[in-house]
Amino acid sequence: MRVILAIWAAKILVIIGKLVGKKGSSTPGSVALKICPDMLRILAKKVPEIAVICGTNGKTTTNNLLCAIMQASGRRVICNHIGANMLAGVACAFAVNADIFGRIHADFAAIEVDEFSAVKVFEHFKPNFMIITNLFRDQLDRYGEIDIAISRLQQAIDMAPNCKLVLNADDPLVAAFACDNSLEVHYFGVGERVFEDDAEDTGERVTDGLFCRKCGEKLKYEYIHYNQLGRFFCTKCGFCRPHADTEAQNVELRAEGGLAFDVWGARIDVNYRGFYNIYNILAAMSVASLSGATDVVQPPSEHTQDADSSKINLAPVTRALADYQPQIGRMQMYKIGGKEFIFNLSKNPAGFNQAIKTIGNDPESAVIIAINDNEQDGIDISWIWDVDFELLNAARVFACGTRRDDLRVRLKYAETAAVTMCATVRDALEAARRGGEARVYVLVNYTALFPTEKLLNEMARRRRNP
């Protein structure tokens, strides 16, 4: 009975939240867990398979892609779509998917979980699959050094003895999770040199994970994709980039946007930007295949139960990828007054550097950057000095956010030309809209995400109905 009460409470609070325009789902979730601390455990038990997605970057996109592929294969899926990834947000996702009698009609749950919440969440359910996307430094003042994230994830893994691990083969910090347990492990990765960087020369770039997690020796690389991701090997203990059963090859990154690669003998071609999206797609495909979503459905006849049964049915993947709409602020595209506005959440150095790499050399563009230092952003903004602003090449750059003065200093020392300070993101958007550049990139950190989305939506609406 308490369960049903808790579900009702969560549902009502979500509706009230929507009415007053709040997007969060943590309050309904925590209220529900207060009413019935067992709610999540009871509801999760009713879902046959649960996949959990952890890692610093790419959680939300991977989670949504996995959900889309599973749905395209006909599964009913529970998913915490917008990224409420602490215990309360996870509880809320299950509660809103239950009916008012406490029944749940789902075949699968795709749940992203914050690295530091995994231990708490696993007290309520043990997942069948656990994806770890990557590990980068993020909000040191809130979470501490990357070593702490690693030990928390290890604790969580130790709690789930029947979980299949799905790990990024290219990230030595992630691949090392396979070493200390007897779990079934699957890997995804990009198995070829894509960028022409000198693998050994990490130069002034700042990267964690350069040292072997097993023996402490400095890792060597055949090639590096970005940060510590690449074909690594340790000359001391032999730890090396494992073979990936879901591996991308013949990668093509198109300058005008879009990317393509081979995997499982087929070609995947999508219109998203960003090399890192290859990892997101591979991770989602890996779990989808492990749970049988890409199996060829055999007619119940004895004749066809032969060699063909090992073939892969890619239809759910291609359908899901073609229809996929990026979540807010994931290289999201707006057309406003004949201009492209590309909106991206960039909240830690690795994510920011990937955004800069994706923008590439685009001297025709304007770039708006907003850096806030509210509690949810992390109050320490020193990480902006780990971002390679030196590689940014745009016609104009606008600095906004509460810490725009610090950003301005950073850009001065990167010797970025043509920087304008704006008190608000709105001012910057208006100035960029009036300017001569063909494209405007809008890179914001966390607490600027939803307000900026609102502004972009307003601008897009206004320009459509003048």
Partner 1 sequence: MKIAHLYPELLNLYGDRGNILAMTKRLEWRGIDAEVVRVLDGDNVLFSDFDIVFLGGGSDREQEIVAQNLSRLRDSLSEYVEQNGVVLAICGGYQLLGEYYQMGDEQIEGLGILKVTTERGERRMIGNAAIKADFLDRPIVGFENHGGATRLNGHTPLGKVIFGHGNNGTDGAEGVRYKNVFGTYLHGPLLPKNPHFCDYILECANAELTPLDDAVELRANDYVQARYKPQK
Q: Under the rule (CB under 8 A), what is the footprint of partner 1?
A: 137, 140-141, 145-147, 202, 204, 206, 210-211, 216, 218, 379-386, 403, 405-406, 408-410, 412-413, 415
Quick one: 140 or 395, whose CB is closer to partner 1?
Answer: 140
195 burial type by CB count under 10 A (0-12 exposed, 13-18 middle, 19+ buried): middle
Distance CA 157, CA 271 (A): 35
Helices (H), 123-271: 140-143, 146-158, 172-175
Least Å distance, CB 383 to partner 1, is 6
Quick one: 147 or 458, whose CB is closer to partner 1?
Answer: 147
Is there a contact between 207 and 245 (Cβ–Cβ < 8 Å)? no
Least Å distance, CB 128 to partner 1, is 32
The H helix count followed by the E strand count for the chain is 15, 17
Least Å distance, CB 181 to partner 1, is 21
Distance CA 220, CA 167 (A): 20
Least Å distance, CB 401 to partner 1, is 12
Quickly list DSSP for 419-451: EEE-SSHHHHHHHHHHSS-SEEEEEE-HHHHHH
Quick one: 201 or 306, whose CB is closer to partner 1?
Answer: 201
Quick one: 245 or 386, whose CB is closer to partner 1?
Answer: 386
62 burial type by CB count under 10 A (0-12 exposed, 13-18 middle, 19+ buried): buried
CB hemisphere CA count around 239 (13 angstroms): 25
Quick one: 37 or 216, whose CB is closer to partner 1?
Answer: 216
**Strand (E) or helix (H) holding 136:** none
Quick one: 157 or 411, whose CB is closer to partner 1?
Answer: 411
Quick one: 126 or 220, whose CB is closer to partner 1?
Answer: 220
Distance CA 227, CA 221 (A): 12
Quick one: 146 or 460, whose CB is closer to partner 1?
Answer: 146
Looking up tokens 């509706």 gives 15
Start-to-end C-alpha separation, the chain: 53
CA dihedral 23, 137, 201, 234 (to 10 degrees): -120
Least Å distance, CB 340 to partner 1, is 30
Distance CA 122, CA 364 (A): 48
Inter-CA distances, 199 with 1, 202, 219, 232, 426, Å: 60, 7, 11, 10, 41
Name 423's Cβ contacts closer than 8 Å, sequence gap at least 6: 400
Least Å distance, CB 390 to partner 1, is 9
Name 346's Cβ contacts closer than 8 Å, sequence gap at least 6: 352, 355, 369, 443, 444, 445
Q: Please state the length of the chain.
A: 466
Task: Tell me the two tokens of residue 136.
Answer: 């980068």
| Residue type at 145 in one-letter notation | E
**Which listed residue (180, 380, 405, 406) is catalytic?**
380
Pick from 33, 52, 50, 306: nearest CA to 25? 33
Distance CA 200, CA 203 (A): 9
The question of whether 380 is a catalytic residue gets the answer yes
Angle (nearest 5°) at CA 132 between 244 and 139: 135
User: Looking at the DSSP assignment, which residues form a beta bridge with residue 189?
Assistant: 247
Quick one: 155 or 382, whose CB is closer to partner 1?
Answer: 382
Would you name the residues annotated as active-site residues? 380
